[in-house]
Amino acid sequence: MKIGIIYATGAGTTRECASLLAKQFSRHEIILQEIGKDIIDLDAFDVVIVGFSIRMGKPVKAARRFIKANKDKLAGMRSGYFICCGLVDCFEEYAQKALPKELYDSAMDIACFGGSLDYTKFKGFDRLLVRTIRNEILGGGDNADQRSDMALPTIFEINISQFADSVKQKI
């Protein structure tokens, strides 16, 4: 079975998640492709998994375009979706907003793979924004950076393996 893992990333976290997901499918042929970089032909796959990260409450632009352009094709395929974001409690809201109803309803699974709020990886406005989100999670204030980062998102490897199991059961 040919499985396409198609992703869009801003700073690389979604790419990392896509690679971790690919490792879960040792018995299948996996093709990892980045939206905007690779030429993607959905007809080449039996199953497609689309992953993207969230910026300002929406999927990164490349993912928004890809979903819009391929909505009908994706709806007619076995497809699943994963999301990387900083505010993981908002995942369900992001998923509903990002995916047209027919994709949301027909998806094999939709999961949150966590995310990263390591602001040192970003510059300028992006850094400021990521730091603001981080401080919001930590409760704000001047010492937010010194407090425990237990509540901060990381890559949720357990969600990645559960998602892979759920997809494997349906293919």
Ligand X SMILES: Cc1cc2nc3c(=O)[nH]c(=O)nc-3n(C[C@H](O)[C@H](O)[C@H](O)COP(=O)(O)O)c2cc1C
CA-nearest of 136, 113, 162 to 9 is 113
User: How many residues form the binding site for ligand X (CB under 6 A)?
Assistant: 25
Q: How far is the CB of 149 from ligand X (least distance, A)?
A: 14
Per the structure block, which two tokens stand in for 112?
């949150």
CA distance 18 to 35: 12
**Using the rule CB under 6 A, is 33 a contact of ligand X?**
no
Q: Binding to ligand X by residue 54, rule CB under 6 A?
A: yes
From the list 155, 118, 170, the residue with the least C-alpha distance to 23 is 155
Q: Decide if residue 122 touches ligand X (CB under 6 A).
A: yes
Q: Does 39 bind ligand X (CB under 6 A)?
A: no
Computed from CA positions of residues 81, 160, 12, 87, in that sequence, does the dihedral angle turn out positive or negative? positive
**Does 34 participate in binding ligand X (rule CB under 6 A)?**
no
For position 5 contacting ligand X by CB under 6 A, the verdict is no
Instruction: Report the residue number, 40 or 95, with the smaller CB distance to ligand X.
Output: 95
Instruction: Find out whether 21 and 47 touch, Cβ atoms under 8 Å.
Output: no
Instruction: Write the DSSP string, 25-89.
Output: -TTSEEEEEETTTS---GGG-SEEEEEEEEETTEE-HHHHHHHHHHHHHHHTSEEEEEEE-S-GG
Q: Does the footprint of ligand X cover residue 59 (CB under 6 A)?
A: no
Nearer of residues 18 and 30 to ligand X, judged by Cβ: 18
Pick the binder of ligand X from 1, 2, 12, 23 (CB under 6 A): 12
Report, in Å, the least distance between residue 155 CB and ligand X: 8
Is 4 one of the binding residues for ligand X (CB under 6 A)? no
- What's the one-letter identity of residue 145? D
Instruction: For the CB of residue 72, give the shortest distance to ligand X in the complex, in Å.
Output: 26
* 139 binds ligand X, rule: CB under 6 A: no
Residues that bind ligand X (CB under 6 A): 9-14, 53-57, 60, 84-87, 90, 115-117, 122, 126, 129-130, 133
